[in-house]
Amino acid sequence: MSVVNTSSLMRAFEAIQEHVDTVLAKLGQREHAKNVVRALLLGYLGYKISKRLYLVFLGPLSHIPGPIFSSLVDVPMWMKKSVREAKLFQTVFQLHEQYGPVVRLGVDRISVSDKAIIKEVLGKQDFPKAEDYKRFQLEGHQTVFSTIDKNFHKHRRRAVSPAFSLRYLGSLEPFLQSCTEKMILNIRQQIANNRGAATTLDIWGLYKHLALDVIGETAFGCEFDMINGGIGEAGRLPGAIDHRMHFAGLRALLPGFVRWTISSKNALESDEYLFKFMSEIIEQRTEATRAEAEQNGQALDSPSRRKKGKRNDILQILIETQFADNEEDRLMAKDIIQETVLFLIAGSETTSNTIAFTIIFLIQHPKVLEALVKEIDSVDLKQKGEDNRIPLPSFDDLKSLPYLNAVIDETLRLRPVTGTGLPRQPPADVVLGGYAIPKNTTINCFTWGCHISDKYWYKPHEFMPERWLDGAEHPADHDAFFPFSIGSRNCIGKNFAWMELRLGIFALLKYFEIGLVSGQEAIIEDLVQLVTVRIKVGKYDITVKERATRA
Ligand code: HEM
């Protein structure tokens, strides 16, 4: 018994030992594997750190002045002031003041405020847009604005450019006038509601509504009637655009891995609403196009039908691409929606902010306001008011008003919509301003910095429209002025914007006396950049009353 017991015990003991050995071997392997992973991670981290240290202290951009910390961790992007408060442009201003016209902002990012370098980057060499713009590509859909692909851009820009030709823009005069007329009537109504006394008006909101009405009419052939509260779903447009801009502005500033972790219920809902809103407009127009073709017995893809279209607005141009001969030219429904949402936003935020900033400057500078009103009153409108319409000037009248144009230029100089600037990436190594810049460095053209540099401008921070007039004592430096950018990616809506800016300002000053509502000084100073530059609270009150001498 005892022999049997001993041998079975021995066997059991051996089995246990074997098992323990296996476990230990496995554990050893696992430990070994862990150590290998740990070593690999440390090695990778070490490689990354030493690569960054090399790039910061010895790399090709190491000779460019700037805060070292910023280069190590791309710091301006991280600063509370820059990101949470949407004031990155202030940080960039400060860095340029401290380090000069070429500043290193990050490990492979620089900012330039020198006019010759900006001209070279945006104009002469016309470098492609930087990767940053991909952040504006929702669900990967490129638009004429957000694409960084030169070929795609050339193609898309060519496709939409007929909607911006001078001839076509001329035909939009009555639409702009009728929207502006509605604005005048609305202000008159507000004054009448106040028994004819001066009334308070939020100029920021008013022009946002006007700009949406203008883009609705001219780009999409739709009456939004935002000036009177908006027809149907259009009433939600300003709020939705605000959310979209807020979110896009934030995402544009954050580094990649953080960017994908943030989401916003408001922004998602706004996107959903904007896309639905535009897709309904697109569907209706597509249906109308089909019905018209059917009625005329024409095939949708017949070139003669496409040429005969009544309006050549952006919406029609984009819809017509669906029937293009070449499959490559056909846009998918989602692309059309993205492109129309872009035009809705780009065509309204930019002009409305600029007009509102102009009115704010005018209120702060009564002498300039007086001189401008005098020029406006010199335009003879008597012959123009037919059918009880409110007399308004033609585009040609407006073009030839030097002081009005000077006031707008001066506003665009001090409040350019682009804030931190226009990022570009050279496809090959270049030398700019004596600095060797390796390919794919992000070069941020800080046009605002250039607009207020004392190297180029007399009393750069002062609002002095006179500098733009012929024979000015201290003339404007046109070479240091880039409000609409230059090169192949300049603003396609520039001429359109100029018409809207001139008419919007003219109409208010022609028919109303405007005045200051005190206590808003801090509001004007508190600027933020949510894609475009604006006042943070998005509201600025003025007083308005009917002018005694109206036409
Ligand atoms: C005061 C008014 C405006 C200003 C100051 C302005 C300024 C600019 C600037 C600086 C750019 C270049 C942006 C960049 O490179 O990132 C740009 C591009 C663009 N703008 Fe405007 N803009 C204005 C009005 C408009 C209007 C009214 C429209 C349309 C109706 C428009 C449509 C566009 C488009 C589509 C682009 C992209 C062009 C391209 O990349 O080919 N803009 N704008």
pLDDT, tens digit (0-9, with 9 covering 90-100), for 275-292: 999 999 999 999 988 888
Q: Is residue 107 part of a domain?
A: no
Question: Can you count the helices (H) and strands (E) in the chain?
Answer: 21, 11
Residue ranges making up the domain that contains 401 = 150-546
Which atom number of ligand 1 is nearest to the Cα of residue 500? 27
- pLDDT confidence band for 256 (50 / 70 / 90): low
Q: How far is the CA of 413 from the centre of ligand 1 (A)?
A: 15
- pLDDT confidence band for 4 (50 / 70 / 90): very low
From the CB of 146, is ligand 1 less than 6 Å away? no
* Mean pLDDT estimate for the chain: 88
From the CB of 144, is ligand 1 less than 6 Å away? yes
Q: Is residue 455 part of a domain?
A: yes
Judge whether residue 473 has pLDDT over 90: yes
- Contact (CB, 8 A) for 218 and 395: no
From the CB of 210, is ligand 1 less than 6 Å away? no
CA count, 13 A, side-chain hemisphere, 153? 17
Q: How far is the CA of 314 from the centre of ligand 1 (A)?
A: 15
Judge whether residue 308 has pLDDT over 60: no
| Bigger pLDDT: 454 vs 250 | 454
CA nearest to 119, candidates 420, 440, 490, 454: 490
Q: Is residue 4 part of a domain?
A: no
Give the lowest-confidence range in 43-47, 57-61, 80-84, 230-234. 80-84
| Integer Cα distance of 52 and 44 in angstroms | 12
From the CB of 417, is ligand 1 less than 6 Å away? yes
From the CB of 336, is ligand 1 less than 6 Å away? no
Judge whether residue 214 has pLDDT over 90: yes
pLDDT in tens, 10-29: 777 677 778 767 776 776 77
| Integer Cα distance of 30 and 343 in angstroms | 58
Q: How far is the CA of 483 from the centre of ligand 1 (A)?
A: 9
Q: Is residue 350 part of a domain?
A: yes
CATH number for position 177:
1.10.630.10
Q: How far is the CA of 489 from the centre of ligand 1 (A)?
A: 9
- Centre a 10 Å sphere on the Cβ of residue 155 and count the other Cβ atoms it contains: 14
- pLDDT confidence band for 420 (50 / 70 / 90): confident
Q: Is residue 128 part of a domain?
A: no
Which atom number of ligand 1 is nearest to the Cα of residue 218? 30
Beta bridge partners of 444: 111, 423
Task: Specify the residue with its C-alpha closest to ligand 1, atom 11.
Answer: 491
From the CB of 384, is ligand 1 less than 6 Å away? no
| Bigger pLDDT: 106 vs 518 | 518
Q: Is residue 258 part of a domain?
A: yes
Q: Is residue 490 part of a domain?
A: yes
From the CB of 535, is ligand 1 less than 6 Å away? no
DSSP letter string over 297-331? T--TT-HHHHHH-S---HHHHHHHGGG-SSGGGPP
Judge whether 445 is annotated as a binding position: no
Note the pLDDT of residue 303: 66
- Contact (CB, 8 A) for 400 and 409: no
Q: How far is the CA of 238 from the centre of ligand 1 (A)?
A: 19
The average pLDDT across 178-188 equals 96
Note the pLDDT of residue 547: 92
CA nearest to 278, candidates 241, 252, 247, 248: 241
- pLDDT confidence band for 305 (50 / 70 / 90): low
Residues in the chain: 551
Give the global pTM. 0.89
- ipTM of the modeled complex: 0.99
pLDDT in tens, 319-335: 888 887 777 777 888 88
Q: How far is the CA of 490 from the centre of ligand 1 (A)?
A: 7
Give the lowest-confidence range in 29-38, 196-205, 467-476. 29-38
| Bigger pLDDT: 24 vs 158 | 158
Judge whether residue 426 has pLDDT over 60: yes
From the CB of 145, is ligand 1 less than 6 Å away? yes
Note the pLDDT of residue 3: 39
Note the pLDDT of residue 253: 63
CA count, 13 A, side-chain hemisphere, 410? 26
Judge whether residue 271 has pLDDT over 90: no
The average pLDDT across 436-446 equals 95
Q: Is residue 133 part of a domain?
A: no
DSSP letter string over 58-117? TSTTTTS-S-HHHHHHTGGGT-HHHHTTS-HHHHHHHHHHHH-SEEEEETTEEEE--HHH
In 139-264, which residue ranges form alpha helices assigned H by DSSP?
150-160, 166-170, 173-193, 203-220, 237-253, 256-259
Which atom number of ligand 1 is nearest to the Cα of residue 412? 5
The average pLDDT across 110-114 equals 96
- pLDDT confidence band for 1 (50 / 70 / 90): very low
- Centre a 10 Å sphere on the Cβ of residue 43 and count the other Cβ atoms it contains: 10
Give the contacts of 416 (CB within 8 A, at least 6 positions apart). 447, 448, 451, 482, 483, 533
From the CB of 497, is ligand 1 less than 6 Å away? yes
Give the contacts of 451 (CB within 8 A, at least 6 positions apart). 413, 414, 416, 457, 460, 480, 481, 482, 483
Query: How many whole angstroms from its chain centre is CA 299?
Result: 39
Give the lowest-confidence range in 236-240, 330-334, 359-363. 330-334
Task: Specify the residue with its C-alpha closest to ligand 1, atom 7.
Answer: 484
- Say how many domains are in the chain: 1
From the CB of 457, is ligand 1 less than 6 Å away? no
Q: How far is the CA of 346 from the centre of ligand 1 (A)?
A: 6
Task: Specify the residue with its C-alpha closest to ligand 1, atom 1.
Answer: 351
